[in-house]
Amino acid sequence: MAVDLLLGLQWGDEGKGKIVDVLTRNYDIIARFQGGPNAGHTLIFDGHKHVLHTIPSGIFHKTALNVVGNGVVIDPVIFKKELENLDKHEIDYESKLLISRKAHLILPTHRLLDAASETSKGKAKIGSTLKGIGPTYMDKTGRNGMRVGDLELVNWKDKYKALTQKHIKMLDFFNVEIEYNLEELEAEFCKGVDKLRRLQFIDSEEFLNNAIKEKKTILAEGAQGSLLDIDFGTYPYVTSSNTTAAGACTGLGVAPNRIGEVFGIFKAYTTRVGSGPFPTELFDEDGAMMAKVGQEFGATTGRPRRCGWLDLVALKYAVDVNGVTQLMMMKGDVLSGFDTLKICTTYNYKGKEISHLPYNIEPENVSVNYSEFKGWNEDLTKMTSADQLPKNLLDYVAFIEKETGVPVKIVSVGPDRKQTIHT
């Protein structure tokens, strides 16, 4: 049995949480493979809004097991709050939620280092969520990080203290004022660790490969988006992990030949949170309307998202890098009411018209060329089947399918799990 992947194809916030929730009924196991509490997956059902940061989006389904893989970084403080939110809904997470021993832990001093680093950059800041993600992955690659499995050792506090002291010394390097009370931060961290240790720790690569042999169905859930990948994103304005399909292999211990379907999630337009280049960004009434109707605010940070037309150059790049087999278009309903819609089809780059994503897409290097499409005025939110969708929307989707060479299998027409049309 193959492992299917679900990935974001833009700069994150594409609506992955909703689609995982929709698809979970088809899978025995949902496994998160990278990122940490810098992600925010929003699910809306039964009139309630739920935001998850580290826990896989299948946790609200009674039958699915949920695995936090080795590629994820976990902040016990935030994780504890997530679990407490689940307590309100009487979710039996102690039996449904499994944690990889090889997942790395975010220490309080990782967050301090993140804040100091970002402050020191001034106007050149990269737009970090300040969750300690970058410093934790730096410790991971520097081979001195702390992992979940360490919490099972009798001397784990010694390892914690040694790493913390190293971080305190590193803070001086940045030469900025960061106010903190380490004693309070550590007390909170220890409470989070106590909560975390109530869960099942597993050797996740063994667990998942055994599940494959037993013909279990597995969906690997990514966080952030492909354009934030540490290797293939808009560096340095990226996250610290591999958000693309390859990250699922290293973040779960699943071999490439065991990957099945690759579901690529994208918005009908484009958004971005934080700093970094954005060729199709809008600064006019159209952009403001997208932000207002789409309620474009980050699920983790609350920061307003920058909005722009769909960038097909970037989308085709993400499709190729990930080997996407099915596309799923989110927030089609947000574009209702626009007389004219635009899709970026090519860039002007160093005096040439190109159709691929180049090394550098800073505004001084890139301008965009658009194809225009007739908009639609119909309210999509009450529609339940593909034959109800307006012709202009179907033409918009057909163009995307033709250009990418990949079918659009889902069109989302609202935030609720019921507002999902299979095409």
* Residues that are catalytic: 13, 41
Q: Compute the 3-state secondary structure of the chain and give helix, strand, coil in percent, each to the nearest 5.
A: 40, 25, 40
Contacts of 235 (CB under 8 A, 6+ apart): none
* Residues 32, 3: Cα–Cα separation, whole Å: 12
Closest to 387 in 3D by CA, of 420, 421, 338: 421
3-state SS class at 94:
helix
- H or E element that contains 401: helix 391-404
Neighbour tally for 56: CB within 10 Å: 28
Per DSSP, the residues of 22-84 read HHGGG-SEEEE-SB-TT--EEEEETTEEEEESSS-GGGGSSS-EEEE-TTBEE-HHHHHHHHH
DSSP state of 278: -
User: Could you tell me which of 17, 7, 3 has the C-alpha nearest to residue 55?
Assistant: 17
The secondary structure of residue 305, as a DSSP letter, is P
DSSP for 151-192 reads GGSTTHHHHHHHHHHHHHHHHHHH-------HHHHHHHHHHH
The C-alpha angle with vertex 153 and arms to 69 and 54, in degrees rounded to 5, equals 25
- How many other CB atoms sit within 10 Å of the CB of residue 236? 10
C-alpha dihedral sign at 294, 298, 303, 309: negative
